[in-house]
Amino acid sequence: MRKVWIRRAIALVALGVVVYLFWPLLKEIRAAAGLYRDARWGWVAAAALLQFASYSSLTWLNALALRPFPGRIGFWRLMFVLTAMAFITSAVPSGGASGVVLRARLLGKFGYSAEASTFTLLLELLYLVVGTILVGLVGLGYLLQIGRLAWAEIVLLGGLVLLAAGLVWAGWRLLSEPRRSLLLVRRTAGFWNRLAGRRRWRPVDLQAVEARLETFHGGLRELADAPRWQFLAATAGRILLDVATLGACFAGLGRLVRPDILLISYGLIMVISSLAILPGGLGLADVSLPVVFNRLGVPGSLALAAGLAYRLLAFWLIRFIGFASWQVLEVHVARRKGSDEATGAR
């Protein structure tokens, strides 16, 4: 509980700083709205296609992670699962738990265990977070070199990047080392069972949990022999195509932003938004995007307009598609279950 409150406090501090920097841009809202009248819609269509390609890379990354485990799911259905996760995580804020549960449920219908679902999700997050942190660190170095930000702002952003990197590193070490993770599981289960005895809650089956942990480490060992370049290529595709989507949104509003500025800003925005309390970086990402670009020389009205267009494509559109994907998957699962029951009856 203490860690949860620490995270919330850090998120609120980060949000407060970004809102303070965002405040001068409020006067640009009317000018930003005017930019949409002259938008180049061909670039907007290109941005949508680039976002689709980015999500395809994310699907490929998940498909690679799922490959060693029993189960079978097609590429497009897996993409449906990922968009459905995105929807439910935003619709039911629960620190990401709602998305994890839905992912396990849907993948379970295709033969994957809950352990495989959780493990592959952690692996996906690991690759994406490491890639984003690297881009963010490059961005900080660049900003320091050109002197675009004050030292206090550099220290704050650098602290956030290092904090995110430290949390990822500590979590990965804990999960990847069998002895440490087993010790943590036993202590946690013991604490829960003692508490459950007093509260009359359902106790944890320690043997079942340890068996799942062993399955997790077995998958980790099998993935050690997988071609690493494929995972790196899928991660790079997800991040770089998402950056290209952002660039196309700027181009659609009449301004080509240099690739280095796009990469630097994207890394910083993603690192900042990772500390958000709400899912999808909601709040911090929306506010920090125009702030960062404005600090790097992009006019405030353009930064606001392009930021809104990008968030509509990369965040809200994916969530609407995710709702439809969820319904399609539920219908497919129900039909297959009915077909299996009919076959068994014969």
State the DSSP string of 269-289: HHHHHTT-SSGGGTTHHHHHH
Q: How confident is the model at residue 21 (pLDDT cuts 50, 70, 90)?
A: very low
Least confident of 156-160, 213-217, 278-282: 278-282
Amino acid at 50: L
Query: In percent, how much of the chain has pLDDT > 90?
Result: 14
Distance CA 85, CA 102 (A): 6
3-state secondary structure of 27: helix
The reported pTM is 0.73
Q: What average pLDDT is seen over the chain?
A: 76
Angle at which helix 151-176 crosses helix 178-199, to 10 degrees, equals 90
What's the full length of the chain, in residues?
Answer: 346
Domain ranges for the chain, please list them: 2-20+42-176+228-338
- How far from chain centre, in Å, is Cα 139? 19
Mapped onto helix, strand or coil, the DSSP state of residue 225 is coil
Distance, CA of 219 to chain centre = 22
CA distances (Å), origin 282, targets 17, 109, 272, 314: 15, 31, 11, 12
**Confidence at 27, pLDDT banded by 50, 70, 90:** low
CA atoms within 13 A on the CB side of 9: 6
The one-character DSSP state at 111 is T
Tokens of 186: 């036993």
| H/E run at residue 122 | helix 114-146
DSSP 241-260: HHHHHHHHHHHHTT-PPPHH
Return d(Cα 75, Cα 77) in angstroms, integer.
6
